[in-house]
Chains A and B, each alone.
Chain A
Amino acid sequence: MELWSLLQDLLFDYTLRTVALGAAVLGIVSGSLGSFAVLRRQSLLGDAMSHAALPGIVIAFILTRSKFSLVLLLGALVAGWLATLLMTAIVRYTRVKQDSALGLVLSIFFGFGLVLLTYVQRIPDANQAGLNSYLFGQAAALLQRDVLAMAVLGSAALVLMGLFWKEFKLLSFDPVFGASLGFPMRLVDTLLTTTLVIAIVVGLQAVGVVLMSAMVVAPAAAARQWTDRLSIMVLLAALFGALAGVIGALISSSGSGLATGPTIVLVVSAIVTISIFLAPNRGLLWRWIVRRRNRRRLRVEAVLADLYTLATQHENRYHAHDAVVIRTMRAGQGGVAHTLDILQERGLVRKEDESRWALTPDGFREAQRITADMQE
């Protein structure tokens, strides 16, 4: 039993347990804070932040020669934050628009990070610090102290989110109204951005800078499909993030040799796909069914209304008419025979002979009601 042994490993194997714990932490934090980014249409901001974190990591290593992930992640935090400030400044003080500013900052920071990374390979110890794994992530290399660092940073972000929940909601829904109430919305924005940077930094070691933004956007986008409440959306996004993180990290660490970041992203993509198709109300399948049902209802009502029109032209309201007559009235719309069968099943019409149909008393009343509705 593959699954059984995996579960046993999860409970008793130190490495796997550490990896799963780390992946769960990163999924929870990026999923919940990603919800705000998605609702504010700032999905790409996460991408810029994570790419921009790379030079921060490398510089932190060059300066301290430390192998502790907490130190490197603090470097990432500073760089991601500076990148955001720079983007805001570019948009505010130049004529460069938001999307261009984002693209510029992302590529410049990331390019600079890659150059530094190549340079730093010559320094002894660089390999030991596992700098390369920050590109695509390597959950298998997570140590207990790394997970501890992630948990500390992640909790800080979640506590901030809990404290300023009301302010973050206001910022996401109606920032101008928020400003009119006297809240310094720029400060609230900075706070939320800071928590988002923290959320991203938490996942860098396991998922990598290249694909981290998927963990910000995908769980939140999937969660939005299932609920119409912000609190539930955040909880669901956290759950989806944790699920994708743990499954992806376990697949990649169980000797498959797959890079962790891409594996996690594949898992989360599956969750998104399922959500987009199957979620009630918003899901594609659901909407298709509703549309079909509506169309059929309209067709049934239309045929009934036609029979009613015919009936009112006769002295005997239950006089039968040929299906061909009804078909001519529904010019260009097929399915009359089928619709008549449906109506017969409901006892609203009755078949006089091979091709002639008439309203039943029930059908007459129903048709009267529908026609009255139509005229309203």
Chain B
Amino acid sequence: MEEKHAAIEVADLTVAYQEKPVLWDVDMYVPEGILMAIVGPNGAGKTTLIKAIMGLIQPAAGQISIYGKPFREQRGLVGYVPQRGSVDWDFPTNVLDVVMMGRYGRLGWIRRPGREEERLALEALEKVGMARYSERQISQLSGGQQQRVFLARALVQEAQIYFMDEPFQGVDATTERAIITLLKELSAANKTVVAVHHDLQTVPEYFDYVTLLNVRCIASGPVEQVFSEENLRATYGGRVAFLTAAGNGAEQVEPAATTAGHGAI
């Protein structure tokens, strides 16, 4: 792990909504090619952290650098998978069209997606096991399929760093496996993934690094070093009721998300 480039460096990041700090003095170092989970209780600022790094929220203070340069200059290196629930899935469009939106940034103003964009989109859909659904209306997708469409949209961005907001939220077992495979592939290709994650139990299994966040950064580093009972307690307060003695493994804190639907109708 040593001697790796820093993919992301965050220093003294503070974000406030109307005087109330949502993130306070957060420092974070993300080496290239690792999978990092961001965990923390509700309202801990997990989504705010990745949004602030991507310049979607104006921070009150702090420096952010992507491969040593400000985010603005490195935007092309970053891909984004927002929360599935953040859009209206009844929008009149199909899967292929949504995935091609990942190319809009490269296309710039006015230029429309063409054959090349379509090819890349189909390729990405293949990777997430959704190639058969390219012509499907998006309102007919199950929760897991929606998530895979969003992942495919991020893949066509051909980024070096991916930010994912709760990619495992409410997905079926097939999708969960597909996402894990994809994450490992990305990591093997030296891409970096930072994902907001809810299920503490799976952190050691899925991720290399973890950031424990509760407005302040409690700990951040390799899972085996920082994912300890002590740090979890500091992050979740008294709410971690089922910590195991082993230290590394912890029961899920919040009620498990149930799988939302399976297979398309």
Task: Say yes or no: A229-B92 contact (C-beta < 8 A), given A166-B107, A180-B80.
Answer: yes
- Across the interface, name the chain A residue whose C-beta is closest to B163: A180
| Of B20-28, B93-101, B182-190, B240-248, the one with at least 4 CB within 8 A of chain A | B93-101
Contact pattern, A 252-266, Cβ under 8 Å of B = 1, otherwise 0: 000000000000000
Q: Does A183 contact B (CB under 8 A)?
A: yes
Q: Does A288 contact B (CB under 8 A)?
A: no
Write out the residue numbers on chain B whose beta carbons fall within 8 Å of the beta carbon of A228.
Answer: 92-94, 137, 139
Write out the residue numbers on chain B whose beta carbons fall within 8 Å of the beta carbon of A227.
Answer: 92
A170, B80: Cβ atoms closer than 8 Å: no
Q: Does B54 contact A (CB under 8 A)?
A: yes
Task: Say yes or no: A174-B104 contact (C-beta < 8 A), given A180-B54, A229-B93.
Answer: no
Q: Does A68 contact B (CB under 8 A)?
A: no
Choose among B78, B86, B111, B112 the residue that contacts A176 (Cβ–Cβ < 8 A).
B86
Q: How far is the CA of A229 from the CA of B82 in the complex (A)?
A: 23
Q: Does A173 contact B (CB under 8 A)?
A: yes
Q: Does B1 contact A (CB under 8 A)?
A: no
Q: Does B70 contact A (CB under 8 A)?
A: no
Write out the residue numbers on chain A whose beta carbons fall within 8 Å of the beta carbon of B80.
Answer: 177, 180
Write out the residue numbers on chain B whose beta carbons fall within 8 Å of the beta carbon of A166.
Answer: 104, 107, 110-113
Q: Does B91 contact A (CB under 8 A)?
A: yes
Q: Does A47 contact B (CB under 8 A)?
A: no
Q: How far is the CA of A216 from the CA of B92 in the complex (A)?
A: 18
Total number of A-B contacts with CB less than 8 angstroms?
69
Smallest CB–CB gap between B113 and chain A, Å? 7
Q: How far is the CA of A180 from the CA of B56 in the complex (A)?
A: 7
Q: Which of A189-214 contact B (CB under 8 A)?
A: none
Interface size on A, residues (CB 8 A): 25
Write out the residue numbers on chain B whose beta carbons fall within 8 Å of the beta carbon of A229.
Answer: 92-94
Q: How far is the CA of A76 from the CA of B107 in the complex (A)?
A: 36
The secondary-structure label for the interface of chain A is helix
- Across the interface, name the chain A residue whose C-beta is closest to B101: A170
- Across the interface, name the chain A residue whose C-beta is closest to B89: A173
Q: How far is the CA of A172 from the CA of B98 in the complex (A)?
A: 12
Choose among A167, A183, A233 the residue that contacts B92 (Cβ–Cβ < 8 A).
A233
Write out the residue numbers on chain B whose beta carbons fall within 8 Å of the beta carbon of A324.
Answer: none
A165, B112: Cβ atoms closer than 8 Å: yes
Q: How far is the CA of A172 from the CA of B51 in the complex (A)?
A: 20
Task: Say yes or no: A182-B87 contact (C-beta < 8 A), given A166-B113, A174-B101.
Answer: no
Task: Say yes or no: A180-B78 contact (C-beta < 8 A), given A173-B98, A228-B94.
Answer: yes
Q: Does B17 contact A (CB under 8 A)?
A: no
Q: List the 3 closest A-B pairs by CB distance, nearest first.
A: A181-B105, A180-B80, A228-B137
B residues apposed to A, CB below 8 Å: 51, 54, 56, 75, 78, 80, 82, 86-88, 91-94, 98, 101, 104-105, 107, 109-113, 137, 139, 153, 157
A–B pairs, 30, beta carbons within 8 Å: A39-B88, A39-B91, A164-B109, A164-B110, A166-B104, A166-B107, A166-B112, A166-B113, A167-B104, A167-B109, A169-B93, A170-B104, A173-B91, A173-B93, A173-B98, A174-B101, A177-B82, A177-B101, A177-B153, A178-B104, A180-B82, A181-B104, A181-B157, A183-B109, A228-B92, A228-B94, A228-B139, A229-B93, A230-B93, A233-B92
